Amino acid sequence: MRVPINKDNLAMVLLVAAITAAFMLVVYRQQSKVLESYRAQAHQTRLAMERDSQKSRQVPLMVREIESMKQRFNKDWDRRLPQRQELGAFLREIAGNLAQSNLSNTITQPGNPTKGALYNRLPITMKFEGEFTSLTNFLRNIDSMSRLTRIDRLTIKPAEKEDSLDIELGMNIYFTEQ
């Protein structure tokens, strides 16, 4: 059955076509642009989440490494970084180490303390004389002391006596005020 084409039918078809075209141009196209921008945002968010996920995979490794370091360096740090200066006890301990290591002509000169954010530092300059093996014993004893110390300068020169060295040592001891 064939519908005759007349003006009214043609006008109606043209009206439906115009409404469809207007809908496509105005509504559908605009909504397509919005949908495409949302898809782009979702893709960028997905990429960011993948990057963050890769970064977070390192956290368990870091935690294990920190625990390993804690076990390796599990020393009594509070004891090694005392809460007050205690210079006298340190100097007595140094004098004992010097005597034990057979080092002579010792001069010990404490410097001025400097205040830091977390700890304070007291520089100490020492001059003494002795054999190389005595120096190594002394340095080993310094390393095993109960106080945290750091040697930042060591000058060794031949002394006037044979098999003897003139030694100048700069070290820092650390303490807190609390």
Phi then psi dihedrals of residue 73, to 5 deg: -110, 35
Domain end, chosen from 20, 49, 70, is at 70
Helix 132-143 with 87-100: angle, nearest 10 deg: 140
pLDDT of residue 8: 79
Same structural domain, 84 and 16: no
Same structural domain, 158 and 133: yes
* Among 142, 77, 65, residue whose Cα is nearest residue 103: 142
Q: Is residue 98 part of a domain?
A: yes
Q: Is residue 40 part of a domain?
A: yes
Please tell me the distance from the alpha carbon of residue 105 to that of residue 103, in angstroms, as a whole number: 7
pLDDT of residue 117: 81
Q: Is residue 1 part of a domain?
A: no
- What are the pLDDT digits (tens) for 41-97? 999 999 999 988 888 888 888 888 888 877 766 555 555 677 666 777 888 888 888
The answer to whether residues 162 and 126 touch, using CB atoms and an 8 Å cutoff, is no
- What are the pLDDT digits (tens) for 127-177? 999 999 999 999 998 888 877 888 999 999 998 888 889 999 999 988 887
Residue type, 106: T
Q: Could you tell me the pTM of the whole model? A: 0.54
Domain end, chosen from 40, 70, 100, is at 70
- Per the structure, the complete domain to which residue 110 belongs is given by 78-175
Give the CA-trace dihedral at 143, 98, 155, 161, to 10 degrees.
Answer: -150
Same structural domain, 63 and 90: no
Count of structural domains within the chain: 2
Domain end, chosen from 47, 70, 93, is at 70
The answer to whether residues 3 and 9 touch, using CB atoms and an 8 Å cutoff, is yes
The 3-state DSSP class for residue 60 equals helix
Same structural domain, 90 and 62: no
Please tell me the distance from the alpha carbon of residue 168 to that of residue 124, in angstroms, as a whole number: 11
- What are the pLDDT digits (tens) for 99-137? 888 888 888 898 998 888 878 888 999 999 999 999 999
The answer to whether residues 146 and 160 touch, using CB atoms and an 8 Å cutoff, is no
More confident residue, 3 or 50: 50
